Structure 1
Amino acid sequence: MKVKELDEYTIAKVLYSYLVEEKSHRVIQSEILCLPAPLNGGGYVAMEILHYFNIKGNSKGLLKNNLDYIETINSEAKEILNSFYSISNEAKNLLLKKNINPQNKKTERLQLVKSRIYQDVLKYYTSMNYNKCCALCQIDQPELLVASHIIPWSVDEDKRLDLDNCILLCNFHDKLFDKGFISLDENFNLIISKKLSRNVVNLLENSFFKTPKEYLPNQKYLKLHREDILRK
């Protein structure tokens, strides 16, 4: 895997995971790059990426407690991380309804990076809102959870970062919700489409909506979901 073949988002995640989160080469290779990383000798690809930016073992966790040290790292890596931080803060401010001052030009390449960072930030806050557990079952494995949109991401750009437009769901329930096989009524009771097979309906037998900490699903959005997405 060559560094120049990687997108900027992936590189930023590798840099952030190592310099801020203190993750090992092996964990980065497994979680970020989705490559095999055996206990013995794993992590060489992640290490290769970091070495490309002249980031060695003594830099692990360098930015964990003091971001000022960012001035000491490779200029290209610094530029990528600064962009990552800027977009992340922009996403947080939008999500929390604070004023923003975007400094990034809307190039196609940057928009792709921005979209993925926005989704990371959104998932974090949605996860906190739902106590890090699927709203319809007991699954709490982060990799199996999704910030599921009531009004789809692609339909309304203005509602993408609305926490009351997102429900934390496991992959199974997210796919059912996204495809219109389930929805929620005005009392947040589960609605199951008549188009769903009996075998799948049986899997939903013990599913019920768990109230989030703060941001309940928006009733207007749910109404639109029932009317336009739920399969009748």
Structure 2
Amino acid sequence: MRRVLLGVAMALMIMAMYPESGSAQTKVMWKGSELKRGQIGLVTILESTPLFMLEGTKQKVLRILKKGETYRIYTYKKALLGLGGGYYVSRDKKIKYETPSKDKMALVGTIPASQVDFNKKAAREQLAKLGWKDLGGAAGFNPYGNYTPHPIKIFLLESDPFDAEIIIDGWYNEEVPEYNKVPPMIKSALPVILKTGAGTVYTMIDESFKGSTAYLGKTFTFGDRKVKFVDTGSKLSILIGKPGSF
């Protein structure tokens, strides 16, 4: 009975520290369970190991965790992993500690989106699924099919201060119907490289090709990223900055 009450007390304390959001939100799954806000990792018990609280510099053992059990981790303190509510296990060979990606932690609000690194490999894979051709450091789309070169490109940049550059040399065109394929391709690609403001940027691109000069040569902020519109004459270039850059 004492063990059951202790388990209930632990659960209640952790829930109090990290309450669920009242809004309907898609669950983020990781390692077979829901990733919680504030969670930084998951510990799997490999050998029987003590669960304890700290009383000054001393450890007060509460119970022994068994092999195969898993627990969410919310804090890290030197060689200790915190389960929440002041409960700890030692980080040693008796446990296996794993951490989720920054992308997943950002989705549940554990870290700000500005701390998420832009994953160029994942972006290329996503764009390929949307019909873009992987060109190595860039993704290309050719409305004419196999004809080269690719007139529409998304460059995934390695140098600061940008993560990506989109170069478009054509939009809706009654005389060249193939180009009518370009806008939906751009619309589907923008959310891959711009998590905030993708819809607004698409509208700005559309208006620019319809004759508006309101955005050309200007820089706009969407979340923690800046987006710059550059008119190169026959083409439109959209530069997407790294979080907090330029």
TM-score category, normalised to shorter length: under 0.3
Q: Which is helix-richer, 1 or 2?
A: 1
| Higher relative contact order structure (alpha carbons within 8 Å, sequence separation ≥ 6) | 1
In the superposition, the TM-score normalised over structure 1's length comes to 0.26
In the superposition, the TM-score normalised over structure 2's length comes to 0.25
Q: Which is strand-richer, 1 or 2?
A: 2
